[in-house]
Structure 1
Amino acid sequence: MAIVAVVCMAIAAVLATSVYALSAITSCSGGVTTLDAAVAPELAPAVSAVAADFNGADHRAGGKCVRVTVRAAGPAGVTALLSGQIPRGSGVRLPDVWVPDSSLWLRLLAKPPRLAGGPLARSPLVAAVPAARATRTPGSWKDLLGAAEPGERSSRAVGLVLPDPARTGAGLAALLVAREREGDAAFAAFARSVRESTAPDATRAFGALAGSSARPEPVLAVPEQAVWEHDRREPSEPVQAVYPRDGTLSLDYPVAILDDRPGARLFEHALRGGTAREHLRSAGFRDPAGRAPAAFGRTPGLTAARPAVLADPEPALVRRTAQEWARLTLGSRMLSVIDVSGSMAQPVPGTRLTRLQAIAQASQEGLALQPDDTELGQWIFSTRLDGDRDWRRTVPMGPLGGRVGSVTRRQRILSALAALRPKPDGATGLYDTVLAAVRYMRRTYRPEMVNTVLLFTDGRNDDPGGPSLDRTVAALRAGREATRPVQIIVIGFGPDVDTAELRRLADATGGSVYTARVPQDIMRIFGEATARRLCAPSC
C-alpha cells in the first residue's frame, strides 16, 4: 500500500508539472531528431527562448536536423524516474536533457547522471518579507530558525514558510540549512511545525503574505529569483529579500544529458552561450559565478552583491535529510492513555499542581504543537472504571480538526484534560490497559500514518486481577508485525515510577520510556519522542 502511494505521488509530480512549451520549428530536409528537454518551471520561459533560437538555426547532427521541445517539469518527478520509484511502462518518459533547479536532486540518487559542465545559473535562498518588515526580520539563519522554533512561545516571532521540500530544491535547501544547525529533537520539532505552512512551490508561497495580520508573522524561504518575479508584477505590497549574513545555499540549475542522442551536446552548448545568458539574466537569475543581473542594482528589495555562501552539503546528508523529512511529515495517529489512579492526586514538589494536573497541563501545551490532521484519541485508566474494565474512552479517535458533536476534537480533548480527576480509591490497572490499547491500535492501523500509544503513568501495575508482566510482554510480542508497527511511548511521572517494568512493556513494541520529575520535563520529552521518527524503527 505504501509503495503504491509513493509511486502514484511520483507520477502525479511529473504529470502535474509537465506543461509543454513547443519551440518554433522550421522546414528541414533529411529527417529530424527531436530532443525532449525537461527544465525547472521557473527556468522554462528562458530555456524555451533559447530553444526557439536553436531550432531556427537549423542545427544538424548525424545527418538529421535537430529540434528541441522544452517542458516545465518538477525535479521530484524526474528524480523519481531516475531512482526507479516510477516503474518502466508507467507512461511517463525520461527526458533527453534535464535541467532541475538544484544539484541536490542528483545527490539523492545512488547513481546520479553525469553533468554536462557546471551550473547554468544561480539563485540564492533568501528570507522574503514585505518591505515594511525587512528591518525587523532576523538577518541570519541562526536567528531566523531560533525565532521560528516551536514550543517556545515567547521567542516564536515568525512562522517560516517553505516551498515543499519533497518537490522543490528551495525547500530541500532550507531543510538542509536547518539540519546542519539543529539537533535531532530541535530539527524534528522544526520539521513538524513548518509542515503546516509548506507551499507547493515558491510562487505560491507568497500567498502566505496576503494576511498581513497573521501571527506569528510569516517569513518565506524562497530563491532570490522568485522575489524578482513577484515584484516585477508590481504587487500592492512589494517583497524584500533578506540575505542571511551567516551564508546561504543557492539553486544552481545543473545540466544533465540523460540520453546522449545526436544533437544533445549542441543544445547544451547553446544553453551556455551569450544569448542564453542574456535570457537568464532577464528572468532574474545570476550567472554561474554568482554575478547578478545589472537590473538588481536598481531594483528595490534585491542586492547585486554576492551573498555569503555555505558549503555544499554532502550527498549522504542530503539523502538523510530528505528521508527524515518524509518520516517526520507523515501524519500522526496517537492514542493518549492517562493514569487517573489515586496516587495521581499527590502534589508535585515546588508547584501547586497534582501529578494529574501537571500531566494535563503539559498535554494541553503539547496538543498546541499538533496539526489539525493529527488523529488523536484519549483513554483514562485506573481500576474498574467501566464495570470490571480498567479503562474508559473519553474522546474517540479521529482528526483534531474534525467535529465531535458541536465542537472540534481538539476542543473536546482540551475540555477532557481540564476535567480529569483522580479516582480516590483507584489502583493502577496497567497491564490489561496497555494490552487493550495496543490491540486497538493494531486493529485500526493506518499504514499512511505513524501509529503510537502514548502512555502517562506515575507508578507501577498494582491490579492483582490483571495479567502478569511476563504474560503481557509475551502477548505484545506475539501480535507485533514489522509492516504494521505500533509503538508504546511511556512517560513516567514522579518518584514512584518503575522504569524497569515500563521498559519491558515498551521494548516489546519497539517503543521507549521517558521519566519526568517536573512538568517542564514533559514538554522536552514530547520533542525527544517526536525525534525518534528520525531513526525508527531501528532505534
Structure 2
Amino acid sequence: MARHSSAPQSSNQTARKVVLVGAAILAVVLVIGFAVSALSRSGIGGFCGDEQTISVAAEPDIAQHVRDLAEDADGCYSFEVEDVSSADIAARVTDRQVLPDLWVPDSAVRLAQVSRDVQIPFETVLNSLASTPVLIASKNAQVDMSTWTAALATPGLSIGDPVRSGVADAPILAAASEVENMRSNQEALSASVAALAQGQASRQEAPLSSREMLDAVAASGGAAVVTEQQAVKFQGEVPDSGVTLGAPSTGAVFLSYPLAVTAQDPTRRTEVTEAAQALRDATASDDFGTGLSADGFRTADRAPLADGAGIGETEALVVRDPNRLHSELQRWRLLAMPARSLVLVDTSGSMGFVMPGSAATRIQALVETARTGLGQFPDDAALGLWAFGGAAGQGGMPYAEVSPLQRLDTPVDGVPHRDALAGALGTLPGLVGGETDLYTTVLDAYDMVRSTYDPNMINSIIVISDGANDAVSPLGRDEFLAQLRERVDPSRPVIVVTIGLLEDADPEMLAEISRSTGGSSHIARTPAEIVQVFAEAIGQRGGA
C-alpha cells in the first residue's frame, strides 16, 4: 500500500517541479523580453528595433543645433529636422496642414500664439534650448538708450519683418514690459509704436533680413534691431565694420527657443513626448553648450558670452499680463504688416449728391481722397476695388469688380497695378445710380478675401458707404449679422473696416459690421474729414 500510495505522491512532486521550472523559464523569458524591449526603445547597447520617425520643425537659426542634438540623443528615433520659420508654421495652420511632431520656435510667445490658433495645448518639454537677447546694432546714430520706448522712436530704425521673425516682436514686448513695470507709460509706447509702424508702412520693398540690416548699418550708418547671436556672428565675419551693440538700460527680451510637442495625433503623443525628452536630455552634453557658444548663442541660463562678446549681463524683460502681451503684439502687427484690402465703394444714387460746401459730388470727393490714400500704401500691399449699387451690379449681383485684388507692384498691361487701380477709381462716377445692397456685398466680399487668405498680410475689407442697406435683399439685418459672425475664423482673420460718409450713413449698422470682425468704424461728416478718416482707417486696420 505504501508503494501504491507513494507513486501518486512522486508523480505530483514531478509535476510540481515541471510547473515551477516552466514558470521560472517563463519569468526569465518575460524579463528578457521586457529588457530587450526597453533596450530596443532606448537604443542602449546596440539594441534597436524599428526606428520611430519624428518630424521636427526648428527656427532656421537654431536648426543645425537641433540636428546635432538629434545625432546625440539616446533612443530608437529618426529625427527629421526641417528649417521652418514661425511664419511658415502659422501658414500651415491657416492651410489646415498637419503640424510637425516637435517644434522649436524662436520664442514662447510664438508657441502660445500658434497653440491658441489651432486650439490645441502644446506640451513644452524644455523651456529653452538656447537663448539670445534682442538688441540694437548701430553706427553713427543717435539712439536714446534710456528705455526701449524711447529707442523705438529713433528715426529710420530698422526692425525687420514682423511676420516672419520674433525679433521684430521683441522690442515691442520690451517696451510693454517697461510700461507694466512703470518705467514708461502707455501714451509714450503708443506714440513710439505708431511712428515705428509708419516707417514700416512707408517702405517700398520687402523687409530686410537681419544680415542685410547689419550690412546696411555697416555701410551707411543707422540702427537696427537684431539678436546678439546675429550681431556677434556679423562682427566675427566683418571685424572692422564699426557696428556697436547695446541694449537700453532697462534690459532686453530674450529669445528662448523652447522645445514643444505639437503632434496632433493623440495616439502618438506619448512616443513623441519620449522622443522630445531624449532631445532634452542630450542638451546636458558639454559639446552642445560649446557648439552654441561658438555660434554666438547663450545657453538657456542666459549667461553672458565669453571673452566680452555681445552686450554682457542684461536684465531679462518679460510681460507678465498675457492680455497686455496679446493686445500690444496684435496692434503692432496690424500696423506694421503689409495690407491686403478689398475696398468696397458705394455707388448708389445718393453718391451723386453734391457735398455740402463743395462743388464736387460725394463720389468725386471720394475718388480724389482714395487716390491720395493710395499713395500711403507700400508696393508690397495688395488692394482690390469693388463697386456696389444698383447701376454697378453685374451678372445678377449687386456689385461689380472694378479692379482685382493683387499687389500694387504687379504688372498690369505694362504698368504697375497701383497705376491701373488709380485709373479704375476714375470710372466710379460713371457707375452711380440705384439702391444699396450692403448685406450681400459684404458677405460675398468676406467669402472672397477669406478663400484667398494670405497669412503674411493683414487681410481686410474696407467698406465706404453713405447709406444703409436700402435695396430689396433676401437677408434681414439680424440674419446678415449672424451669417457674418459665422464666417469669422480666428485662424484666418479677415477684419472689416467701415467708413460712413456724412449723416446719411447708418453708423450703428456699420459699427456692428466692424465689431463682428474685429475691425474699426469711422464717420466722415465733412469733405475735410474724408481725408482724415480715410487715413485713420488705413492706419488702424483693426479695432479702434
TM range (shorter): 0.5 to 0.7
Show the counterpart of 1:303.
Answer: 311
1:448 maps to 2:425: no
Tell me, in whole angstroms, the C-alpha distance in 2 between the residues paired with 1:41 and 1:276.
17
Quick one: which amino acid aligns to residue 514 of structure 1?
H
Deviation at residue 284 of structure 1 after TM alignment: 0.9
Tell me, in whole angstroms, the C-alpha distance in 1 between the residues paired with 2:218 and 2:276.
51
Q: Deviations over 1:480-518 (max 9, x none)?
A: 743557987553455xx235x454466578587522356
Tell me, in whole angstroms, the C-alpha distance in 2 between the residues paired with 1:207 and 1:430.
53
Q: Deviations over 1:151-195 (max 9, x none)?
A: xxxxx6345323634xx4434435645777655996799398399
Deviation at residue 249 of structure 1 after TM alignment: 1.0
Show the counterpart of 1:136.
Answer: 142
1:367 maps to 2:374: yes
Show the counterpart of 2:385.
Answer: 377
1:397 maps to 2:418: no
1:341 maps to 2:348: no
Tell me, in whole angstroms, the C-alpha distance in 2 between the residues paired with 1:405 and 1:179.
47
Deviation at residue 138 of structure 1 after TM alignment: 5.2
Deviation at residue 408 of structure 1 after TM alignment: 2.7
Deviation at residue 226 of structure 1 after TM alignment: 1.3
Show the counterpart of 1:279.
Answer: 291
Q: Secondary structure at the match of 2:403?
A: strand
Show the counterpart of 1:290.
Answer: 302
Q: Deviations over 1:80-137 (max 9, x none)?
A: 79999967xx5x7524xx6543233443435332444x634320112345x3x4x334
Match of 2:81 among 43, 66, 71: 71
CA gap 1:474/1:231 in 2 versus in 1, 3 angstroms = same
Q: Secondary structure at the match of 1:514?
A: strand
CA gap 1:434/1:50 in 2 versus in 1, 3 angstroms = closer
1:116-195 matches, cutoff 5 A: 116=126, 119-129=128-138, 131=139, 133=140, 135-137=141-143, 139=145, 140-147=147-154, 157-162=156-161, 164-165=163-164, 168-174=165-171, 176-177=173-174, 190=197, 193=201
Q: Percent identity?
A: 19
Quick one: which amino acid aligns to residue 410 of structure 1?
R
Tell me, in whole angstroms, the C-alpha distance in 1 between the residues paired with 2:367 and 2:540.
22
Answer whether contact 2:202 2:377 (CA < 8 A) is retained: no
Show the counterpart of 1:32.
Answer: 48
Tell me, in whole angstroms, the C-alpha distance in 1 between the residues paired with 2:332 and 2:169.
9
Answer whether contact 2:59 2:83 (CA < 8 A) is retained: yes
Q: Deviations over 1:353-372 (max 9, x none)?
A: 99878755643443233344
CA gap 1:529/1:310 in 2 versus in 1, 3 angstroms = same
Tell me, in whole angstroms, the C-alpha distance in 1 between the residues paired with 2:540 and 2:160.
21
Match of 2:532 among 514, 523, 536: 523
Tell me, in whole angstroms, the C-alpha distance in 1 between the residues paired with 2:507 and 2:341.
23
Tell me, in whole angstroms, the C-alpha distance in 1 between the residues paired with 2:423 and 2:236.
50
Q: Secondary structure at the match of 1:41?
A: coil
Tell me, in whole angstroms, the C-alpha distance in 1 between the residues paired with 2:384 and 2:444.
13
Quick one: which amino acid aligns to residue 287 of structure 1?
T
Deviation at residue 222 of structure 1 after TM alignment: 2.7
1:250 maps to 2:266: no
Tell me, in whole angstroms, the C-alpha distance in 1 between the residues paired with 2:364 and 2:236.
55
Q: Secondary structure at the match of 2:121?
A: coil
- Relative to the length of structure 1, the TM-score reads 0.61
Show the counterpart of 2:122.
Answer: 112
Deviates more, 1:138-147 or 1:282-291: 138-147
Q: Secondary structure at the match of 2:211?
A: helix
CA gap 1:488/1:205 in 2 versus in 1, 3 angstroms = closer
- Relative to the length of structure 2, the TM-score reads 0.60
Q: Secondary structure at the match of 2:436?
A: helix
Q: Secondary structure at the match of 2:419?
A: helix
Deviation at residue 330 of structure 1 after TM alignment: 7.0
Q: Deviations over 1:220-271 (max 9, x none)?
A: 4332101122333338956543423443310123455874877976763442
Match of 1:432 among 431, 436, 459: 436
CA gap 1:436/1:346 in 2 versus in 1, 3 angstroms = farther
Match of 2:61 among 42, 47, 50: 42
Q: Secondary structure at the match of 1:160?
A: coil
CA gap 1:174/1:470 in 2 versus in 1, 3 angstroms = same
Answer whether contact 1:378 1:396 (CA < 8 A) is retained: yes
Answer whether contact 1:105 1:169 (CA < 8 A) is retained: yes
Deviation at residue 42 of structure 1 after TM alignment: 2.5
Identify, as 1 or 2, the structure richer in helix: 2
Quick one: which amino acid aligns to residue 331 of structure 1?
R
State the superposition RMSD in angstroms.
5.7
CA gap 1:138/1:112 in 2 versus in 1, 3 angstroms = same
1:101 maps to 2:110: no
CA gap 1:401/1:436 in 2 versus in 1, 3 angstroms = farther
Quick one: which amino acid aligns to residue 377 of structure 2?
Q
Q: Deviations over 1:4-56 (max 9, x none)?
A: xxxxxxxxxxxxxxxxxxxxxxx98541386869454333444555666x57x
Tell me, in whole angstroms, the C-alpha distance in 2 between the residues paired with 1:141 and 1:78.
28
1:226 maps to 2:230: yes
Deviation at residue 332 of structure 1 after TM alignment: 1.8
Answer whether contact 2:217 2:223 (CA < 8 A) is retained: no
Tell me, in whole angstroms, the C-alpha distance in 2 between the residues paired with 1:266 and 1:478.
54
Q: Secondary structure at the match of 1:268?
A: helix
Q: Secondary structure at the match of 1:432?
A: coil
CA gap 1:178/1:292 in 2 versus in 1, 3 angstroms = closer
Answer whether contact 2:133 2:227 (CA < 8 A) is retained: yes
Quick one: which amino acid aligns to residue 31 of structure 1?
F
Unaligned stretches of 5+ in structure 1? 1-26, 60-64, 148-155, 462-467
1:268 maps to 2:273: no
Quick one: which amino acid aligns to residue 101 of structure 1?
D
Matched residue count: 449
CA gap 1:415/1:82 in 2 versus in 1, 3 angstroms = closer
Q: Larger Cα Rg: Structure 1 or Structure 2?
A: 2
CA gap 1:37/1:222 in 2 versus in 1, 3 angstroms = farther
